[in-house]
Every structure is written in C-alpha cells, then in structure tokens.
Amino acid sequence: MSEDTAVKQKGDFKSKRNIILIILIAIIIVFVGILNYFTSKNLYNGKIAQNIYIEDVNVSNMTKQEALETIDAKYPTKKVNLSYNNEYYTIEPNQVDLSYDTKDVVDSAYNLTRENSYFSNIVTYISTKFKGHDFSIKVSYDEDKLDKKISSISKQINKPSVDASISVTSGIYVKESQTGLKCDDKENKKLIEKAYKDKNYETIALKVDVTQPKIKTEDLKSIDSVLAGYSTTFNSSIYGRSYNIALALKRCSTVVMPGETFSYNKATGPRTISNGFQNASVIVSGTYQDAPGGGVCQGSTTLFNAALLSGLDITQVRNHSKTSSYVPRGRDAMVNDSDSDFKFTNNFNHPVYISAYAGGGQASVKIYGSSQDKVSVSIKTDNFIYNGLPGAKTYRTITKNGKSETKHIYTAVYQE
C-alpha cells in the first residue's frame, strides 16, 4: 500500500469517528432536552404526579392548594352522633380536638416525585404513573377529652339496678326489683374511634348492657313467715346510747341470700361521729368511758339471739369483758371496729330478711324467711366459775323432721 493511500484511509477513519461523535452528542443533547422537557412538564410543574390518590380522591395533576381544598371538602371533621333508646347524643370535633392531617398528606403526595435524587424521582414518577400510589389521612384527637365526653354521656344513660326489698309493716310485702343500665364505655370508644378513622359519620348505636339486681323479686317470694325474734330493753332517757342502738339496727335491716354471710360491722359501718354515731358509754379495757357508738353492742346482741333462735349458722361471736344487764351470761355479742364482729351465714335454702328496729326503750329483731326452713330451737347455757371469774357455755339444739342436733356455740368468761 502506498503512503498516500494509507494517509487517505487514516483521514477517512477520523472523519467517520467525528461524524459518530457529533451524532452521539446530538442524541445526548436531544435526550437531555426531552428529559428536561419531561421533568419540567411532569415533575417540576407545581402539580401532583399522575395516578395518585388520597383515600378515594384522585389528586393527579392538582396543585397542593387544589388538592387540599378538595380533600378538606370531601373529609371535613364532623360531629359524631350517638343514639340509645331513641335518645341522641353528640360529640363535637372541638370537644375532643379532632383533626385530620390533610395538609401533611397533601405535602407527602406532592413530594412523592420530588423528594429524592433527579433520576430516582423520574423512576418514581414512571412507576406511579402505571401502578398508582395511595395515601391515607391520619386522624388525631385528645383521648382524655374523648374519655371524659364518653363518661359524661354514660352518666346520662346509666342507672343502677335495684334489689327487691321487703316491707313487714303490715304483712309481708315484696317491692319488686329493677334491672339497671350500664354503658360499655370501652366498646363505645372503639366504635367512635373507628368512625373517626373511617371518616364514617353515620349515627352510632351505643352499646348498653342491662345489669341484673343481686336480689330479684322471685328470690323473695319464698319469705312467708317469722322464723324467730328477740327483744332487749334499754333506758330510752339516755339519748346518745338510744340513738346509736336505733341507728345500728336500722342499718341491719336487709336481705341475706342463701350461702351469704352477714357482718354486723359491715352493715353498721365504723362507729364514728362522721358515720352518724354519737358519744355514749362503752367498755374499753374493762372500764366505762364515752366514745362514738356506745350501745351498738346491744344491737349486735339482740341480732345474735334472733339469729341463734332462727337456726342460722353463727360463724363469729364474742362476749363482753363484763356481763350485760340486758341478756343472760353466754347470750351477748360484743363488737368493735378493730377485731370483734358478729357474723352469721344463711345456711338455709331460701333468703332471710332481718327486720331490726329500736324505739321506746326496746330493741327488737325478727328474722323472716321461708316456712320450709323453720326449725325448733332450744338454747342452753351452763354457768361455771373459772379462776374465780364467772362464765357460761352456750349450746343450741335444732330439731327438724324429728331429728335433733346440739352444737356448742361459744364459751364466755367475764371479768366480773
């Protein structure tokens, strides 16, 4: 090959290479131009990208302001309407600081194709265009305020159940029981929160439970007779003591269901001025002194003897340190707030009713129950002297259906 031919071929190669280079540069310039046009038209046009939804609203090609106005119009904060038994209640948005994060979610939708690198944003745009992207509106509210509002509504609906009760002033009369109502605050809160989350403001039917009384009317229909009664006397001129006896016995007038244990201390409450008792003479460490509740032991003693004679199961009883003037030895029941109580358990198959009252110098207790539970009862006390101190052992014999059973009730020892 001649030298001229070689030079010519070399020149042709350079020329072709330059042409290719020019073409490539032109393609790149065109590509960049198209890309800039694409991005300026679609990514940096001040509008939300295509195929983007907030909840079920298509916000494609909207400005942030347009999207915000559209979403706020579609999902405004509204009051929650609640109903129960044709009564209606409302919870206004401002009462619980209810709000939707519409501005934040619109910002997120707008920034979806703008928040990353240049090429990453392009990839996101293309992916969103074909696959779409959904945003959800988040709800916020003050839980404490919502709880208080729910509680306020519940108080308007709730009503306690009422136990059946007995009146024995003229015969035996049963006052009927009543069911109660109790709003299920926990479940109702869930229903309200779901309404907020779903943006569904249809009226919510409140969940309200019917509560049953502890003692129902039919429970007391078996009470048809007096099982036993007992009375003691006191000096009615001593006002504080008389008042305390009457108050304590009044608080003991109640129904005791089968298997239930009655506590005198629980029924009367603490012997304090704030609990209604007055100062009167009581035995403290073997000596007499004035204190709130003086005289309540005569109430417990009277009740003890009525329960003893009715055949009820005596589960806790204790004597005084000194003998009592109103009952024989071995028949008293001392109580105090710290460690002494009088208790009995209803061991019958039917409820019993304690009718206890005091007035005119007499404390009286009658135990009413079913005639099917009536038994024959005899009480025996054996007096004795122990270390020079008087005492008594108390026994009870119960006879029913021709069968008798005698049990020791308690042993009392007195300081004098």
- The string of pLDDT tens digits covering residues 232-265 is 999 999 999 999 999 999 999 999 999 999 999 9
Secondary structure (DSSP) of 356-408: EEEETTEEEEEEEE-GGG--EEEEEEEEEEETTEEEEEEEEEEEETTEEEEEE
- Interatomic CA distance for residues 412 and 393, integer angstroms: 6
| Range scoring the smallest mean pLDDT among 12-26, 63-77, 176-190, 224-238 | 12-26
The upper half-sphere exposure of residue 149, i.e. CA atoms within 13 Å in the direction of its Cβ, equals 23
Residue with the larger pLDDT of the pair 102 and 9: 102
User: How far from the centroid of its chain's Cα atoms is residue 57's Cα?
Assistant: 41
What letter represents residue 279's amino acid? N
pLDDT tops 90 at residue 9: no
Q: What is the pLDDT of residue 233?
A: 97
Q: What is the pLDDT of residue 172?
A: 94
Q: What is the pLDDT of residue 39?
A: 54
Residue with the larger pLDDT of the pair 255 and 4: 255
Assess contact for 157 and 206: CB atoms under 8 A.
Answer: yes
Phi first, then psi, for residue 254 (nearest 5°) are -160, 170
Tell me the pLDDT band of 192, cut-offs 50, 70 and 90.
very high
Q: Which residues of 183-209 are buried (b: 16+ CB within 10 A; e: fewer)?
A: bebeebeeebeebbeebeeeebebebe
- Interatomic CA distance for residues 322 and 332, integer angstroms: 10
Q: Which two tokens stand for residue 47?
A: 């509008």
Question: 């401002």: which residue's tokens?
Answer: 94
Question: 């108390």: which residue's tokens?
Answer: 394
Q: Which residue, 364, 347, 346, is CA-closest to 355? A: 364
* pLDDT tens digits along 291-339: 898 999 999 999 999 999 999 999 999 999 889 999 999 999 999 998 8
pLDDT tops 60 at residue 284: yes
Assess contact for 125 and 49: CB atoms under 8 A.
Answer: yes
pLDDT tops 90 at residue 33: no
Residue with the larger pLDDT of the pair 368 and 115: 368
Q: What is the pLDDT of residue 62?
A: 92
Question: What is the β-pairing status of strands 52-54 and 133-135?
Answer: parallel
pLDDT tops 90 at residue 283: no
Residue with the larger pLDDT of the pair 191 and 123: 191
